[in-house]
Structure formats: C-alpha cells, structure tokens
Amino acid sequence: MAELFIADGLDDEQIEYIENEYFAGFKRYSNHQSLPAKLEHYAALDEELRNVSSTTLCRELLREHSNNEGFTLKHFIDDIQTVYCADNRPWVIGYSGGKDSSAVVTLVYLALLALDESKRTKHVYVVASDTLVETPLVVDHVNKSLESIGNQARRDGLPISTHKVLPKPHQTFWSCLLGKGYPAPTKSFRWCTERMKIDPVSDFITDKVAKFDEVIVVLGSRSQESASRAQVIAKHKIENTRLARHTTLANAFIYTPIDTWSMDDVWKILRACSLEVTISPMGIGKKWANDYDLEWENPWGGKNLTLWNLYKDSSDQGECPMVIDDSTPSCGNSRFGCWTCTVVTKDRAMESLIQNGEEWMRPLLDFRNKLADTNIPENKSLYRNFKRRTGNVSYQRVKEGQELTTERDHIPGPYMLKFRKEWLKELLVQEKLFNESGYQVTLITKPELHAIRQEWLNDPNEPDWADSLPQIYRDVYGHDLDWVINDNNSFGEVEAQILQQLGGEYDVSPEMIQKLLDLEISLEGLSRRTGVFDKIGSLLKRDWGSLEEIKEKHAALQSKSDFDLHKEQIKRYEDEIAKLDQQTKVEL
C-alpha cells in the first residue's frame, strides 16, 4: 500500500518524536545500545549484592532484548492509517479517561493529523460511558477531556466527535439499589456491570451498525494488562487482518492498536518523553528524560499531567476499561471505577485519593463502606426483606451431606423500604453540602429520583402509599421537582394505616389488600380485563404474613425447592447406576 503518512499536519517536535522514539520493545529505552552490557554485568554480581526486584527486572529486560526490539511510533501510526483507510466502516473508540484509552485516542488523533485530508473519509466517535457513580475527580477529568478533544478536532478539520452514554434512568445504580432494593453488588451478584456499562455502549454501537451496516470498535486493551481479555480477542481474531469479531454484537469488529504495548509505552506517549534504564549500586530503575518540548502535551492541546496525578494519588491502581461484554474484567480495584463499588473488600484507590489531599470525598467512602457492611452475613436479615421481589420466601438448597429434613435459612430479599428512604435522604443531604462547599457534584440525578419514586409506589412487598420521596426531597432542598401526578396512587398514608388496623382485626395481611387494590385501580377503564383472574391468583399465591407464619405454612405443605423435591429419587437413580456400572466391570 502507498505511503499514507504526511507530515504537513504535524509540528517539527511531533515529527521528531514519532520518527525517533521506539515502543513495544527493548529500544523504547533511549540508552538501549549500552544497556545490554550493563545488564549482563549486573546479572553476574553476587546474589547478596542484588535485590530481588532488580534481579527480576534485569531478567525481563535481557529477555526482551533477545526477543523484541520494538518499533518506532511511526510504525503504529502507519498501522492505524492502514486500517482506517482500508474500508468505509466508521470507528467507535472506547474512552474511559484512563491511561490506555487516552493513549489510543492520542495515536488515532496523530494518525488522522498525518493523513491527507481527502482520505479522512469516515467518522470516528469517541465514546465515554458514565455510570453516574464514577469518582467525582474522574468525572471532571473525562468531561473536560471530551470537550477539549471535540473542540480541537473541529478546529483541525478532523472527523472526530465525542459522546457520553448513560444507563437508562430505571437501570442506574441508585434506581436499582434504592428503587428496587437490590443489595450492594458482590462477586457472586454483580448486577451493575451489564446495566450501567455494557448496555449503554452496546446501544450506541448498535445504533451505528443500523446506520452504517458495520462498525469498528477501537479499544485500549493490552495483553499485558488483561490476559483473559487478550485470549477472548485472540479467539475471535479474523485471519490475516488486524481485526477481531465482537463477541456479542453482530457486524461490529474489534481493533486493538496497542495490544503489544507495556505500561511504560503507554506512559511514554502520554508524557511525550524519552525513557531510560538506570543501574546503580542501589539497583535497577527507570527514569523519564525530557528530551522534547512536548512534555505532557496531547495533540488536542491539553496536558496529561492531570491524568498522571490521578494515578499517582491513587497508588497507581488499574483503570476501569470500556466494558463492551462480559469478558471485560471487573474494575472494583480501580480509581476509574465507581465510588460505590462493593465488589472488593476495600476501595484502596479512594482511600489513597483521600490520603493524598482529597479529604472532601471521605463521606463518599464512608457511605460506600456502609453499603458494604450490609453484605456481611449476620447483617443481611437486619437490612433486607425476608421475601424476594417475587413476593415469595425462598430457601437455600440442601448442601452436600445435609439431611433433607434440616431446617434451611431463607434467602434474603431486597433492602427494606425504611433503609432505602434513610439512604436516599443521606445522599441528598451530602450532595447539598458538597455543592454549598464549592464542589460541583451530582450524586443522584433528577431522572433517577423520578424512577425511584415509581419503584417505591409499585414495590412488590412494601408499596409506598405515603409517596414519601417528594417529601424527602422537599425536606432537604426546600422546594419540589416537577413530579408526575400518579393517577394510580389513589390511596395515601391514612388509608395504609386503616388497612393495618383492619388487617389486625380480621387476620388478613394489609400488604396483600394494598396490592389487590393497586391491581384493581390499574385495571380501571379497561373495556376488556383480559387475564385479570390470573393476576389476582398470582397475588394471592404470594407469601403473606410474618416470616414465622410463612415458615409454618411451608412446613405444613412440606414445601421444598424443585431440586430438593426430586433429590431422593435422583440419589436412588445414581445408586442404581453405580451398581450397574460395577456389575458391568465385573462381567468384563
């Protein structure tokens, strides 16, 4: 293919850096010519004169020297230009604001600057996914970066636009946790990733596929950063191309331009510096050298020093990648993840940020820790309803070696409404305090408040006839939002109290009557009430009453899970099969 690289769009410093600096190999170090002899000398020293970390680094550097020299930055820009010009499929760059995605955007931006204007024929969408519970410092960094990239791209005449995608209001973290009562995420129940990250990005990609037939998704995935992710991409690699098929989305393809890069390579392009290896009696280290006037500059006129400080202040935890499918690893350990994340035991990134001067964020860490405490086994019954959102009590399955007659614990359901109300008010109060102190922070959005209100009004176990949320908001902010008038909510707190009183007198669950009345009102005005008896029957079949009353009913009915009902029969079959197998062996 003909040479695509044109230097006219670049300044002299950028051209010098692109043509002289090496990446993805041993030559990335500016002293690579004299370095091998020094490393060999260090490796030959007595063991007591070498520390463990330096010995390991020495071994890795010598191995890389033997196997991989690397390439100039121009090689990678040529690669991007070749893939870009190969077809008319638009690009979607996954941008998280972290180091890897920033390196990819930098490379693509430079590649387009160094491309003839007549060949910039297809659009590049830079897409950031905001879960609405990102660390506030990261939200600010991403917002400013997207604005800078978009503005400078327009000035440079590049076909680049920036976009932010959000989860749907009824699928956000707070809509699910405070609205539906979902427990704080855990490793075994990580309900948040698909709703908050995968779905919004997938919807954006699907929209572009519908418009252009096919798209190429450009990611900052590196083999060194995530071996599992690298294996998934390699499995779907298209032979003799730089692309792989998307694992879940039809007509979407994956391109990973920095898949062979190390973390040193990523920081090297972001710092726009040289890197050298130093060897002294203290050991082996690495040092940045400011040999260019570009230090910290990115092609869109910003500075990457802010990004460096974010990593430095949070103990260099890994970033949260753009999540496009279930193979992408969890980002619970990351400062570029959610401040509410309870998948990990401790949020060390947030703790480090606070220790490094961001003390104002401590209330967020305290709130996150409060949510994490609700997942401690002995606390679950305190915070969570004994019924699931289906309206029924579920029990744990019989464990291996356990008798069928053994009493089993019930599986806790959603958070009780009283705690959800308490936590919502705490969030709103903290949000108000932040903004009064000069920090422009939105902890919970207006659409989320509307979604939570509807979830409370229609809660399967504790319908909020008092319509508490508008009053909670009014108590904190002193004014009302433009609340939707709920036509179905014909009953209020007074009626709920009357039902509580009558329920005690007539030994009927007041919650059941509430749900039946809600059903009746929802069907008003319909000319045909198709399936109404099925709906009534479904409500009546739910578990009503206290946990003790429900357990007594279940015991009387000998209610077991479907698996347990047949466990004894399955055991008999297994024993018969084992006997037949033994008999067959004897006969043979």
Alpha helices in 114-196 (DSSP H): 136-156, 173-174, 192-193
Please indicate, yes or no, whether residues 386 and 294 belong to a single structural domain of this protein: no
pLDDT for 80 beyond 90: yes
Task: Choose one of 416, 443, 477: the last residue of a domain.
Answer: 477
CA–CA gap between residue 462 and residue 268 (Å, rounded): 56
Mean pLDDT across the chain:
86
Please indicate, yes or no, whether residues 363 and 285 belong to a single structural domain of this protein: no
CA–CA gap between residue 80 and residue 257 (Å, rounded): 7
Please indicate, yes or no, whether residues 352 and 309 belong to a single structural domain of this protein: no
Pairing verdict, β 71-72 and 243-245:
unpaired
Q: Please give the model's pTM, rounded to 2 decimal places.
A: 0.83
Residue 328 pLDDT level (bands cut at 50, 70, 90): very low
- Chain segment 137-149, per-residue pLDDT in tens: 999 999 999 999 9
The arithmetic mean of pLDDT across residues 263-278, rounded, is: 93
Say if 558 falls within a structural domain: no
Please indicate, yes or no, whether residues 279 and 376 belong to a single structural domain of this protein: no
Say if 44 falls within a structural domain: no
Say if 498 falls within a structural domain: no
Consecutive H or E run containing 274? strand 274-280
Residue 345 pLDDT level (bands cut at 50, 70, 90): confident
Say if 39 falls within a structural domain: no
- Chain segment 291-319, per-residue pLDDT in tens: 888 888 899 988 888 888 888 776 544 44
Q: Give 121's DSSP letter.
A: -
What pLDDT shows up at residue 586? 65
SS3 303: strand
Please indicate, yes or no, whether residues 170 and 215 belong to a single structural domain of this protein: yes
Please indicate, yes or no, whether residues 394 and 286 belong to a single structural domain of this protein: no
Strand order across the 243-245 sheet:
160-165, 124-129, 91-94, 215-218, 252-255, 243-245
Say if 548 falls within a structural domain: no
The arithmetic mean of pLDDT across residues 418-433, rounded, is: 97
CA neighbor of 513 nearest in space, from 526, 524, 498: 498
Which residues make Cβ contacts (< 8 Å) with residue 533, sequence separation at least 6?
Answer: none
Please indicate, yes or no, whether residues 299 and 372 belong to a single structural domain of this protein: no
What pLDDT shows up at residue 68? 92
- Chain segment 495-513, per-residue pLDDT in tens: 888 888 888 888 888 888 8
Please indicate, yes or no, whether residues 307 and 366 belong to a single structural domain of this protein: no
Task: Choose one of 313, 333, 361: the last residue of a domain.
Answer: 313
- Chain segment 430-474, per-residue pLDDT in tens: 999 999 999 999 999 999 999 999 999 989 899 898 899 999 999
- The number of folded domains in the chain is 2
What pLDDT shows up at residue 394? 83
Of the listed ranges 263-272, 448-457, 484-493, the one predicted with least confidence: 484-493
Please indicate, yes or no, whether residues 287 and 423 belong to a single structural domain of this protein: no
Please indicate, yes or no, whether residues 124 and 169 belong to a single structural domain of this protein: yes
pLDDT for 331 beyond 80: no
Consecutive H or E run containing 167? none
Residue 261 domain boundaries: 7-24+70-313
Give me the amino acid identity at 426.
E
Say if 19 falls within a structural domain: yes
CA neighbor of 453 nearest in space, from 443, 440, 442, 466: 466
Please indicate, yes or no, whether residues 91 and 222 belong to a single structural domain of this protein: yes
Selected residue with higher pLDDT from 530 and 458: 458
Say if 525 falls within a structural domain: no
CA–CA gap between residue 355 and residue 314 (Å, rounded): 9
Tell the residue number behind the tokens 């670049």, with chain if given: 10
CA neighbor of 385 nearest in space, from 408, 345, 357, 416: 416
Please indicate, yes or no, whether residues 308 and 441 belong to a single structural domain of this protein: no
CATH of residue 221: 3.40.50.620
Say if 452 falls within a structural domain: yes
What pLDDT shows up at residue 534? 83
- Chain segment 43-61, per-residue pLDDT in tens: 888 888 788 889 999 999 9
Task: Choose one of 477, 499, 514: the last residue of a domain.
Answer: 477
What pLDDT shows up at residue 583? 72
SS3 125: strand
